[in-house]
Amino acid sequence: MFSFLKKSSAEKKAVEKPADASAETAAAPSWRERLFKGLAKTRAQWGGKLKSIFSRGKVDDELIEELETLLLTSDCGIEATSHLLDELKKAAKRDKLETPAAIQQALHDALLETLQPLEKPLDVSTHKPYVIMIAGVNGAGKTTSIGKLAHYFQTQGKSVLLAAGDTFRAAAREQLETWGERNNVTVIAQDNGDPAAVVFDAISAAKARGIDIVLADTAGRLPTQLHLMEEIAKVRRVIQKIEPEGPHETLLVLDANIGQNALQQVKAFDKAINVTGLVLTKLDGTAKGGVVTAIARQCPKPIRFIGVGEQIDDLRPFVARDFVDAMFE
């Protein structure tokens, strides 16, 4: 039997917006500050070493070699590292870079240009309900990200419904229900059974209630677990039976701590379920923030959101310039 967590405002077509409309504007600088703080470990990997590398004030073989080592140890990957170094060499020749500040700015600009294509904010206004399927391996922060996404969409004036599609772990369902209570949104769950059925029922409920967004959780799995990857593909097919154009977004949640392994996860999940966007979590706990650059060069999926902390509002849309600034300053 399906269980429904009671929620009064979920029946409405939209949640109320914050009483003070300027609150979000005022919060923007604090998010930037949290982003800078969250990338402190990655920045520490760069900061002092960049100053030392650029101190000679010219782009020579020694600088390129040292910078290559730094980029690789920050998990930028071979392809992205080569690209950034090539761009730096071109800028040095074109603009006659002769100061440490100018060389650093050239690297900053090359990195920004590389990451800019990943900045594609999610537009949830195209369908109602807008169905978002969330996937990822165990421990990536998938269920927590769903709770934070629910909060974020509510601050945008959207009503949200959660589907507890991870029917294998009771703890996952309970965790999602806790987030539902915290955000005051309905969670549709089932004690045991078919994940696809849970998601199907959730979309049906959202249609009946005029809900804006359905966030559908799925069981955590490794790309090598082929039977589980097939199951998540089934969830996608069932969604399309009730919502032919759905899911409208398929988000893969990645733990930034895994560095280059993130690339393999993106490729494997994309093959199974056609990943359309990424959520990069735990950037505050790693020095491997350079993996964003590797993603941009090797499997350029839009990074819809990044997480830099444990608070409910520590998951926000990816903004390339803010990210790059936080890597350097």
- Which domains are present in the chain? 2-17+122-328 (3.40.50.300), 40-118 (1.20.120.140)
pLDDT in tens, 45-62: 776 678 788 887 888 899
Average pLDDT over every residue of 198-221: 93
Asked whether residue 15 carries a pLDDT value surpassing 50, the answer given is no
Report residue 86's pLDDT band, with 50, 70 and 90 as the boundaries.
very high
pLDDT score recorded for residue 21 = 39
pLDDT tens sequence across 126-175: 999 999 999 998 888 898 999 999 999 999 999 999 999 887 777 778 88
Name the percent of the chain lying above pLDDT 90: 51
pLDDT band at residue 10, thresholds of 50, 70 and 90?
A: very low
Contact 247, 126 (CB under 8 A): no
pLDDT at 2 over 80: no
Which residues have C-beta within 8 Å of that of residue 191, sequence separation ≥ 6? 1, 3, 170
Note the pTM of the prediction, 2 decimals.
0.86
CA distances from 38 to 263, 264, 270 (A): 22, 25, 28
